[in-house]
Amino acid sequence: MEAYSRNLDVANGHVDLSHGAGGRAMGQLIEGIFHKAFDNIWLRAGNDQSAFTVPGGRMVMSTDGYVVSPLFFPGGNIGSLAVHGTINDIAMAAARPLYLSASFIIEEGFPLADLERIAESMGVASRGAGVPIITGDTKVVERGKADGVFISTSGVGVVPDGLDLRADAARPGDAVILSGSIGDHGIAVMSKRENLEFDAAVVSDSAALHGLVTAMVEAGGRQIRLMRDPTRGGIAATLNEIASQSKVGFHIDEEAIPVKPEVAAACELLGVDPLNVANEGKLVAVAAPEGAKAILAAMRAHPLGREAAVVGHVVADDDCFVQMATSFGGGRIVDWLSGEQLPRIC
Amino acid sequence: MEAYSRNLDVANGHVDLSHGAGGRAMGQLIEGIFHKAFDNIWLRAGNDQSAFTVPGGRMVMSTDGYVVSPLFFPGGNIGSLAVHGTINDIAMAAARPLYLSASFIIEEGFPLADLERIAESMGVASRGAGVPIITGDTKVVERGKADGVFISTSGVGVVPDGLDLRADAARPGDAVILSGSIGDHGIAVMSKRENLEFDAAVVSDSAALHGLVTAMVEAGGRQIRLMRDPTRGGIAATLNEIASQSKVGFHIDEEAIPVKPEVAAACELLGVDPLNVANEGKLVAVAAPEGAKAILAAMRAHPLGREAAVVGHVVADDDCFVQMATSFGGGRIVDWLSGEQLPRIC
Q: What does the pLDDT look like over B79-89, one tens digit per residue?
A: 999 999 999 99
- Cα-based angle B13, B78, B146 (whole degrees, multiple of 5): 60
Alpha-carbon span B210 to A101, nearest angstrom = 21
- Provide, rounded to the nearest whole percent, the portion of chain B with pLDDT above 90: 86
**Which chain A positions have a beta carbon within 8 Å of B141's beta carbon?**
67, 69, 147, 150, 343-344
Is there a contact between A60 and B46 if contact means CB atoms under 8 Å apart? no
* Residue B274 covered by a domain: yes
Q: Within this chain, do residues A185 and A307 fall inside the same structural domain, yes or no?
A: yes
B148 and B207 co-located in one domain: no
Q: Does B187 share its domain with B328?
A: yes
User: What is the predicted pLDDT for the residue at A262?
Assistant: 94
Q: Does A167 touch chain B (CB under 8 A)?
A: yes
pLDDT reported for residue A339: 56
pLDDT tens readout for residues B97-109: 999 999 999 999 9
Contact with chain B for residue A315, Cβ under 8 A? no
Cα–Cα distance for residue pair B78/A137, rounded to 1 Å: 16
What is the pLDDT at residue B340? 57
Q: Note the pLDDT of residue A21.
A: 86
Band of pLDDT at residue A3, cut at 50, 70 and 90: very low
Q: What percent of chain A shows pLDDT beyond 70? A: 97
B204 and B87: one domain?
Answer: no
Q: Is residue B345 part of a domain?
A: no
According to the model, what pLDDT value does residue A7 have?
A: 77
Question: In 3D, which of A313, A321, A324 has the Cα closest to residue A255?
Answer: A324
Summarised one tens digit per residue, pLDDT across range A237-284 is 999 999 999 999 999 999 999 999 999 999 999 889 999 999 999 999
Any domain includes A11: yes
State yes or no: pLDDT of B328 exceeds 90: no
Q: Looking at residue A198, what is its pLDDT? A: 72
Co-location of A141 and A181 in the same domain: no
pLDDT band per the 50, 70, 90 thresholds, residue A163: very high
pLDDT band at A22 (very low <50, low <70, confident <90, very high): confident
**pLDDT value at residue A2:** 42
Asked if A47 lies within 8 A of B166 by C-beta distance, the reply is yes
What average pLDDT does range A202-228 have in this prediction? 97
pLDDT on residue B339? 56
Task: Identify whether residues A94 and A26 lie together within a single domain.
Answer: yes
Q: Is the pLDDT of residue B298 over 90?
A: yes
Range of the domain at B137: 2-158
Instruction: Identify the three-state secondary structure at position A237.
Output: helix
Closest by CA to B165, choosing from B212, B87, B223, B211, is B223
A113, A86, A80: which is closest to A100 by C-alpha?
A: A86
Put simply, whether B231 touches A (Cβ < 8 Å) is: yes
Select from A33, A40, A138, A127 the least CA-distant residue to A87.
Answer: A127
- A133 with A267, same domain? no
- The last residue of one of the domains, among B106, B130, B158, is B158
User: Would you say residue A172 has pLDDT above 90?
Assistant: yes
Q: Quick check: helix, strand or coil at residue A63?
A: strand
In A, residues 197-226, which contact B (CB 8 Å cutoff)? none
pLDDT, position A341 = 67
* Shortest CA distance from A105: residue in chain B: B65
pLDDT of residue B2: 42
Fill in the DSSP letter of residue A213.
Answer: H
Instruction: Determine the Cα–Cα distance for residues A324 and A256; give it in Å rounded to an integer.
Output: 11
Identify all chain A residues contacting B150, using CB atoms and an 8 Å cutoff.
105, 139, 141, 146, 150
* pLDDT for the residue numbered B95: 97
Given B158, B187, B205, which residue is the final one in a domain?
B158
Residue A338 has pLDDT above 90, yes or no: no
Say whether A21 and B343 touch across the interface (CB within 8 A): yes
Residue A150 has pLDDT above 90, yes or no: yes
Residue B53 included in any domain = yes
Q: Is residue A283 part of a domain?
A: yes
Q: A69 and A43 in one domain?
A: yes
pLDDT over 60 at A227, yes or no: yes
pLDDT of amino acid B343? 86
A58 touching B (Cβ < 8 Å): yes
Contacts of B272 in chain A (CB under 8 A): none
Per-residue pLDDT band at B197 (split at 50, 70, 90): confident
Last residue of a domain, one of B113, B132, B158: B158
Tell me how far apart the alpha carbons of residues A11 and A13 are, in angstroms, rounded to a whole number: 6
Q: Does A47 touch chain B (CB under 8 A)?
A: yes
Region A10-30: what's the mean pLDDT? 91
Among the ranges given (B15-19, B135-139, B257-261), the one the predictor scored with the smallest mean pLDDT = B15-19
CB-based contact, B4 to chain A, within 8 Å: no
For the segment A120-131, what is each residue's pLDDT rounded down to a tens digit? 999 999 999 999
A1 has a pLDDT exceeding 60: no
- Residue A270: what residue type? L
Alpha-carbon distance A287 to A55, whole Å?
28
CB atoms < 10 A from the CB of B331, how many?
A: 12
Q: Are B35 and B43 in contact (CB under 8 A)?
A: yes
B139 vs A contacts (CB less than 8 Å): 65-67, 150, 344
In this model, does residue B307 exceed pLDDT 50? yes
Is the same domain home to B280 and B314?
A: yes
What total of structural domains would you count in chain A? 2
CATH number, residue A305: 3.90.650.10
Tell me the CA distances in angstroms from A287 to A165, A176, A216, A221, one per residue in order.
11, 7, 11, 9
Angstrom distance (rounded) from CA A12 to CA B88 = 36
Smallest CA-to-CA distance from B202 within B280, B125, B92 is with: B280
Shared domain for B151 and B247, answered yes or no, is no
Is A30 part of any domain?
A: yes
Sign of the CA dihedral A39, A45, A50, A51? negative
User: In the predicted model, what is the mean pLDDT of residues B105-134?
Assistant: 98
A327 and A183: one domain?
Answer: yes
Q: Does residue B346 fall inside a structural domain?
A: no
Q: Residue B164 falls within a domain, yes or no? A: no
CATH of the domain at A54: 3.30.1330.10
- Output the CA torsion sign for B271, B273, B278, B281: positive
Q: How many Å lie between the alpha carbon of A41 and the closest alpha carbon of chain B? A: 13
- For B169-191, the pLDDT digits (tens) are 999 999 999 999 999 999 999 99
Classify residue B6 as exposed, middle or buried by CB count within 10 Å of its CB (0-12, 13-18, 19+).
exposed
**Helix, strand or coil for residue B31?**
helix
β-strands B322-325, B249-253 pairing: parallel
Give the DSSP H or E segment for A43.
helix A41-44
DSSP string, B110-131: -BHHHHHHHHHHHHHHHHHHT-
CB pairs under 8 A between A and B: 293
User: Most confidently modeled of A21-35, A148-162, B45-59?
Assistant: A148-162
8 A C-beta contact, residue A134 and residue A101: yes
pLDDT tens digits, one per residue of A27-44: 899 999 999 999 999 999
Asked whether the predicted pLDDT for residue A287 surpasses 90, the reply is yes
Report CB contact under 8 Å: A49, B62. Answer: yes
pLDDT at B13: 96
Residues A61 and A146 in one domain: yes
Laid out side by side, the sheet with A50-54 consists of: A50-54, B57-66, B149-158, B96-107, B133-141
* Averaged pLDDT score across all residues of chain A: 94
Q: For the segment A70-104, what is each residue's pLDDT rounded down to a tens digit?
A: 999 999 999 999 999 999 999 999 999 999 999 99
